[in-house]
Amino acid sequence: MRVPLVQTGMGWVAGPRLVAATCEAGGLGILASATMTLDQLAQAIAEVRSRTAAPFGVNLRTDVADVHERIALMIETGARVASFAQAPNPALVARCKEAGLFVMPTVGARRHAEKVADWGVDAVIAQGAEGGGHTGSIPTTLLLPQVVDAVGDRVLVLGAGGFFSGRGLVAALAYGAAGVAMGTRFLLSAESRVPDAVKALYLGTPVTGTVVTTKVDGAPQRVVRTDLVDHLESQSWLRSLPRAVRSAYQFRKETGASLSSLLREGRAMKEGNELTWSQVVMAANAPVMTKAALVEGRTDVGVLPTGQVVGVLESLPPVADIIDAVMSEANEVLRGWSA
């Protein structure tokens, strides 16, 4: 990497074009594999490889039945960085480390950072509450220094949640981070695969236009506040469950998983993440509802994960311009200080 900027693995968004563009511009691009089958991941990795020789990463879910095959594929194809949406487990970290992968889970609380640091990860992305998608409740301004103090002597710490500018990068460096990871900023770029009409909806969202809901899949997730989200918020759990069961079935059908692997995954997820069974059932709802909006452009029936930073973004620049602008502003601030 020539610049300390990471483009995070966003489901249905971070495809080969976005990843390769980030890597070519000197940052680290991460492919989103949570919404891909193993075959689709193999194709996506091959496409990244055909577009760039730079190192890149893959974002993985730890609770999928074929996580070991995905890691084997990464090792075979030379994808260097394993990013994890939820905390992995010690055995998975050990497997990745043995194979020489750089392991970088995302965490939303200091105790999670401490736990994964004890397992020997190389870096953590500390994502504050303002971040997009699944997110915790501690703002970046408090989480980042907490995580740096707790594990910064052992692992690299990157800040995430609300970053979009050079000033933000310098702030993160001042907190002791090694760089920043950005999701929403890269979602709203020329190279992200989201349909233009959906990008326009994001651009029209004000900084107050997002909400954290647990009604999509049971875990807190920051999304654009739409009529659908208001409707979901007003529904009881009992009424949400049948929809979640249908989504679970549809998602597993699309990704080719069998009922037994679905149940195995559900059990691993329940145990690994201390979830209730109703939360497990809800979990497959997120990819389906996100796909409806981000791939099919059906924003009336789908959800739009986003960081609060969406409210300050006004255009869809090419990735290289985003990276250049962040780096020149950061350098300008630093030059101003040293003067």
Ligand X SMILES: Cc1cc2nc3c(=O)[nH]c(=O)nc-3n(C[C@H](O)[C@H](O)[C@H](O)COP(=O)(O)O)c2cc1C
Q: How far is the CB of 7 from ligand X (least distance, A)?
A: 9
Nearest-10 Cα torsion for 312, 318, 322, 328: -130
Nearest-10 Cα torsion for 306, 52, 196, 126: 10
Q: How far is the CB of 307 from ligand X (least distance, A)?
A: 2
**16 or 161: whose CB is closer to ligand X?**
161
**106 or 213: whose CB is closer to ligand X?**
106
**Interface positions with ligand X (CB under 6 A):** 8-11, 13, 32, 34, 59, 85, 106, 127, 130-133, 160-163, 182-185, 187, 305-307, 309
Q: How far is the CB of 106 from ligand X (least distance, A)?
A: 5
Instruction: Report d(CA 161, CA 181) in Å as an integer.
Output: 8
Q: How far is the CB of 289 from ligand X (least distance, A)?
A: 11
Residue whose CB is nearest to ligand X in the complex, by number:
183
Q: What SS3 state is found at 104?
A: strand
CB 222 within 8 A of CB 308: yes
Nearest-10 Cα torsion for 297, 303, 306, 310: 60
Q: Can you say whether the dihedral through the CA atoms of 114, 119, 122, 125 is positive or negative?
A: negative
Q: How far is the CB of 206 from ligand X (least distance, A)?
A: 15
List Cα–Cα distances, 250 to 36, 259, 305, in angstroms: 14, 12, 20
**309 or 322: whose CB is closer to ligand X?**
309
List Cα–Cα distances, 298 to 139, 228, 276, 295, in angstroms: 31, 11, 30, 8
Q: How far is the CB of 163 from ligand X (least distance, A)?
A: 6
**53 or 88: whose CB is closer to ligand X?**
88
**191 or 239: whose CB is closer to ligand X?**
191
**54 or 223: whose CB is closer to ligand X?**
223
**148 or 293: whose CB is closer to ligand X?**
293
Q: How far is the CB of 78 from ligand X (least distance, A)?
A: 21
| Residue in the structure block whose two tokens are 């055995």 | 91
Q: What SS3 state is found at 224?
A: strand
